[in-house]
């Protein structure tokens, strides 16, 4: 099997067997491109099937200046693709099995930005309530905050899988796992109006643009491409409203964190939040509560008999 054929088979595995989102697949392809380019420059023209564990560690070492998250993506890709090669019988051993972790200098993590309910409410009112695009944008913002769904879950929603009158919808998450999400009254109201009034007019735009009918089943169809609205468009629309609302750090994922954090602040237990977010592991859900740390310190400082000591930590 040639390097190109192996990579093509691996991407097929990620997409159709692992069910990874397209963003994750694009990240894997990007890392693979960097890995192959590095090998051409530094490993005497060895291709990636001929690479050694030493090559991988040197490749990682050359990227010590990158952010922890970026290095984590690189390590994930190398460990994943070489484990797949071994499982499929294309390699005698998993060459990335003992891939070294880079020694990182300890540094304090900046708490995630989590907007307040009042900040989000003000932002929700920014989209034009008359234009088709404005109403669509309002619905997307409402759904992201009301349900905590991921960007790709929002954009892949299908018309036949949403029931505004019953205030629920089905989304497909990581690993092609389907789950039900609950809509609040505001999100259900906006979604119902959008599907009855706006969605048909967006479909007329698609027909005027002679786009294939396959994308018509999407809740948020693109009027420029055959499928659903793109992640780039969603990101740009959210960024526009976030800047107008004086929240430059806000992204689609910020709304997911806000959903979880506000539920937790309201008394919801972590197990319930885990189910609503579609997390496979509770440990992932607990990360979403880190924004509460300053608030917890404040509570202890005010109400614990020795709270003034906590304030000095």
Residues annotated as catalytic (active site), given as ranges: 150, 174, 253, 256, 279, 288
| Residue matched to tokens 């735009």 | 205
Cα 33 from Cα 165, distance rounded (Å): 47
Cα 241 from Cα 250, distance rounded (Å): 9
Half-sphere exposure in the Cβ direction for 251 (13 Å, CA) = 9
> Based on C-alpha coordinates, what's the Rg of the chain?
23
225 exposure class (CB count in 10 Å sphere: 0-12, 13-18, 19+): middle
Cα 263 from Cα 265, distance rounded (Å): 5
SS3 call for 284? helix
Cα 283 from Cα 270, distance rounded (Å): 10
Cα 173 from Cα 179, distance rounded (Å): 7
């Amino acid at each position: 099997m040639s390097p190109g054929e192996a990579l093509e088979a691996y991407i097929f595995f990620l997409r159709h067997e692992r069910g990874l989102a397209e963003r994750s697949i694009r990240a894997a392809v990007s890392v693979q491109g960097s890995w192959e380019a590095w090998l051409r420059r530094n490993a005497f023209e060895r291709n990636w099937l001929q690479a050694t564990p030493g090559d991988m560690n040197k490749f990682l070492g050359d990227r010590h200046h990158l952010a922890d998250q970026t290095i984590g993506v690189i390590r994930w890709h190398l460990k994943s693709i070489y484990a797949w090669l071994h499982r499929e019988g294309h390699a005698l051993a998993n060459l990335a099995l003992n891939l070294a972790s880079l020694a990182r200098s300890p540094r304090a993590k900046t708490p995630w930005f989590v907007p307040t309910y009042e900040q989000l409410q003000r932002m929700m009112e920014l989209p034009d309530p008359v234009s088709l695009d404005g109403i669509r944008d309002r619905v997307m913002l409402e759904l992201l905050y009301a349900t905590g769904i991921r960007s790709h879950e929002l954009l892949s929603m299908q018309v036949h899988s949403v029931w505004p009158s019953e205030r629920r919808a089905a989304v497909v998450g990581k690993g092609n796992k389907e789950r039900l999400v609950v809509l609040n009254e505001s999100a259900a109201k906006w979604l119902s109006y959008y599907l009855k009034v706006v969605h048909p007019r967006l479909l007329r735009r698609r027909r005027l643009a002679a786009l294939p009918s396959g994308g018509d089943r999407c809740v948020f169809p693109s009027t420029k491409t055959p499928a659903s609205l793109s992640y780039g468009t969603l990101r740009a629309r959210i960024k526009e409203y976030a800047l107008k609302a004086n929240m430059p750090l806000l992204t689609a994922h910020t709304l997911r964190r806000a959903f979880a954090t506000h539920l937790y602040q309201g008394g919801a237990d972590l197990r319930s939040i885990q189910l609503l977010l579609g997390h496979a592991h509770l440990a992932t859900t607990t990360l979403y509560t880190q924004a509460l740390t300053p608030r917890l310190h404040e509570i202890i400082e005010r109400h614990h008999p020795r709270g003034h000591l906590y304030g000095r930590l």
